[in-house]
Structure 1
Amino acid sequence: MTQDNLPTVIAQNEIELAPGLIVTVMVLDNGQRVLPAADVRRACEWLGVTLPDDGERADAGV
């Protein structure tokens, strides 16, 4: 995929998943919706889910 073919953000908004837990959702021109990694990490921490550190694979040690 070349730089010219990369999807671009066409819309962006915030969603409040719970009181005090707001995440940003971006819509790409190919229809996908994406969330910033920091927002996903914060939402998972709020749920009590521990994610691997950046650069670590989730299946490491399995």
Structure 2
Amino acid sequence: MTGGSHSLVLTNSREVYSFSRNYDGQLGHGDDRDAYYIPTKMVRLSDVQAIAAGGNH
């Protein structure tokens, strides 16, 4: 799933990973790091059933 400048991954075990640009905190890791270049687990989420991403919203 891709957004304007970031991507999300939902695994079979219902974990969410995000990566790419983070200039507005859109990756959800709770920091102001500019970018994540490898998929990084969003630890604040669990048992996720669906995800959506987009730009300009």
Under a length normalisation based on structure 1, what TM-score does the superposition of the two structures give?
0.34
The structure, 1 or 2, with the larger RCO (C-alpha pairs under 8 Å, 6+ apart) is 2
Relative to the length of structure 2, the TM-score reads 0.36
Q: Which structure is higher in helix share?
A: 1
